[in-house]
Amino acid sequence: MQDNTLVVTGMGAVTPIGIGIDAYWNNLVSGVCGVAPITRFDASDLPVRIAAEVSNFEFKQDISPQLARNMDIFAQYAFAAAQEALQDANLERADRPERIGVVMGTAMDGMGLLAHTQAQLAAGVLNRVGPRLVPMILGNMTAGLLAIAYDFHGPSMTLNTACSSGGDALMTAAMLLRSGEADCMIVVGGESILSPILIASLAAAKALSRRNDAPAQASRPFDKERDGFVIGEGGGAIVLETAKHAARRGVESYATLAGYANTQDGYHITAPDPRGTGAAACMRIALQRAGLNPSDIGYLNAHGTSTPMGDKAETLAIHSVFGANSQSLAVSSTKSATGHMMGAGGITEVIACIKALQTGLLPPTLNYTTPDPDCNLNIVANIARQAHITAAMSNSLGFGGQNSSIIVTRETTNKR
């Protein structure tokens, strides 16, 4: 194994369809949908009243109350996922803490809490703001709290690249590892933007599905009847380390992080390049870095948000990169089940790719009932598909023209 090989040794997930890797994966391949009417607050006056909420989440405070008090819900999701991943990787105590770092990915930090606090002040419910508000809304707080709780002293960074934040966090961790800045990185994503003002803004931008009367059918990536994405929330975490470091610790790995890339459309603040040029370039760079041909990829977890323009542009990008192989390449969007988890989605969708490599099951795209000629892909429709694959790709494409592609491959020392 080459010295620059990077392996995944731990995973964790907090999602709208299950908390913990096993629950998340089992429900994903079983076709469970987490989209339902919003319960977090009264949404009756909003044009969009559905979302994919995390339910039955109880934050296990295996840390001091002082630290726990400084976490907004997005940070709790990310921290809980990281706890699972660290336990999974047998890394709850570090021999060389200065060689272990954290990269956090989040699109909108604690903006929901900030908006809620402002609304309470305006309504007279609150008459003052407490000292913990600023730490709670900061995007980098998860990385800081993990470092404090687990005594990590290596590189600590937080990525905010909209919906590609999770994938870009993985790429940043990989670059830090390959440059010798660290031996092991905990990559986390956390998101929760369930807020009336944020929902109203996205609805005004015509980005959200308005299937309020049929929430479970609202997210329908690549389907001709798609009308926008559904907000999701949650957290995801991956322990990424050099193969040499993993061998020294005596731990097995789930997969190899073989390729990664980031590009910029340079086209529009919210709309994707309609030709898919930037996304195509991103996939090509990831393949080149992995030393793979397009035909080597057996499964693609698409960004697939269920927006009319986004899915069409991504389809064009896939055809541009995979050519004739695009008709045999299995494609699905797990956002049909979890909603759009933004910064957390980039991590949990890579985890879905790793589980597909392990199990030989490809997760489905729910609600795919009416094929769209503009999205002529080999969609894994409605039920999971069995397939033996050796490499998988995950795309994350975000506002501002952000593109991220991650490639994972099978590892000979796979866990379980």
Q: Which residues are catalytic?
A: 163, 303, 340
Question: Whole-angstrom Cα distance, residue 139 to residue 104?
Answer: 8
Tell the residue number behind the tokens 């975000």, with chain if given.
398
| DSSP type of residue 404 | E
| DSSP type of residue 252 | -
- Which is it for strands 6-15 and 234-242: parallel, antiparallel or unpaired? antiparallel
Beta strand ranges found along 49-94 (DSSP E): 50-52
Residue closest to 262 by CA, chosen among 105, 110, 379: 105
Tell the residue number behind the tokens 């998988």, with chain if given.
392
Residue 93: Cβ within 10 Å count: 9
Query: How many angstroms from the chain centroid is the CA of residue 123?
Result: 35
Residue closest to 304 by CA, chosen among 393, 174, 203, 193: 393
- The answer to whether 68 and 148 have CB atoms below 8 angstroms apart is no
> Two tokens at 281?
């370039």
Q: Would you state the torsion angle of the CA atoms of residues 294, 285, 173, 25, taken in this order, to the nearest 10 degrees?
A: -30
Question: Whole-angstrom Cα distance, residue 407 to residue 354?
Answer: 10
